[in-house]
Structure 1
Amino acid sequence: MMTLTAPLVFADLLAQAKKLRETNAWKPFRPGVGAHWLYEDEDGAAAVLLHYEPGAQVALHEHVGYEQMLVLEGEQSDEAGSYPAGSFVINPPGTSHSPRSAAGCVALLIYEKAVRFP
């Protein structure tokens, strides 16, 4: 777990995400989904790059705090719709979904609090 004590800057995050996609710097998150944690705080606040392999899906989960997601590459979808690269989605507390990617994608997710899996 990495608690921030000073600003954390990622210059040209898009280029960094593209380079990361070609490496094995991803930790297993869910089957077919790798995670590269930018930070993770003790209270559940976090920022993470998620790399979905084609056809990967994350199980249904509930947002306890706000989740903000920016699709950097590819397309992600859930029960509410499809989100191509450049889409910014805010999932408020109390909402649930099961995100997936048919062709694969990379997305930046920022969590206010950790999500809850049933």
Structure 2
Amino acid sequence: MSYHPEKQVLKCYATGEIDSAHGAAVATHLETCSHCRQLVAKYEEEAAEDLVASGTEGAISDSELALVFDNMMNDIMTLDADFSKPKARTATTVEVNGKSFKVPATLKPFVDRMGEWKSYGGKVFTSNIEIDEDCRVSLLYITEGVQVPQHTHKGFESTLVLHGSFSDENGEYHEGDFIREDGDTKHAPQTASGQDCLCLSILTEPMIFTQGVARVFNRFGKGMYP
């Protein structure tokens, strides 16, 4: 794994200031990336220290804290549940173009909200995920030996590779890699012969095509979502 979320993105995740789409993408990346897990743990510890150091004005008293703890323990003891074993998280599956792919359990809520797959020439497939966010979230499947038209971005594009690999002018990306692009990037993602790719895509603004006939989608400055 060669590509990771930026430190600021990991800090937002650690402090709970991240949106749900990027939060799920980062959580999925963390499952297989010990480097980023260590950074998140560090940022969580720093956030806790900052909270303690921020002062005692308006802080809960020791007696109030003890009462909250007692009430919490009473609630736990009265629950009709077995806490002897942690609940196992299981992966889910998606099917596209006659193939079935395992998707990490962290993304199951997204899979439950998937729309119908749309096909672009039988080579690129997208399924929009309906969530209450100011961004476009989708699963993107690119068949083998395909190049997406070169484009840039009005906002940010975050991509998490779930299966296979793809490459562009800036590198080659494999399962677990997290890539974030903006308007400074012009790229034409492509899959190699014999290698397809399934990704989670998060776009804050439409794509802007920069070459070829695809530029027709840029009319009126709207760009295009996949």
**Shorter-chain TM-score range:** 0.7 to 0.9
**Greater share of helix:** 2
**Greater share of strand:** 1
**Deviation of the 1:15 alpha carbon:** 3.9
Q: List structure 1 segments (4+ residues) > 6 angstroms apart after TM superposition.
A: none
Let me know the Cα RMSD of the aligned residues.
2.7
Matching residue of 2:203 = 111
Sequence identity of aligned pairs in percent?
Answer: 32
1:78 aligns with 2:153: no
Which structure has the greater CA radius of gyration? Answer: 2
After superposition, the Cα gap between the structure-2 partners of 1:58 and 1:82, relative to the gap in structure 1 and judged at 3 Å, is: same
Larger RCO (CA under 8 A, 6+ residues apart) = 1
After superposition, the Cα gap between the structure-2 partners of 1:59 and 1:46, relative to the gap in structure 1 and judged at 3 Å, is: same
Residue deviations 1:6-37, cap 9 Å, x none?
x78x8xx8944x422337x4211465110011
TM-score, length-scaled by structure 2: 0.41
- 1:46 and 1:112 in contact (8 A); partners too: yes
TM-score, length-scaled by structure 1: 0.75
Q: Residues of 1 paired with 2:91 and 2:154: CA distance?
A: 31
- 1:31 and 1:56 in contact (8 A); partners too: no
Gapped regions of structure 2 (runs ≥ 5):
1-19, 29-89, 101-115, 210-214, 216-226
- The count of aligned residue pairs is 105
Aligned counterpart for 1:61 among listed residues 112, 134, 151 = 151
Gapped regions of structure 1 (runs ≥ 5):
1-6
**Deviation of the 1:114 alpha carbon:** 0.6
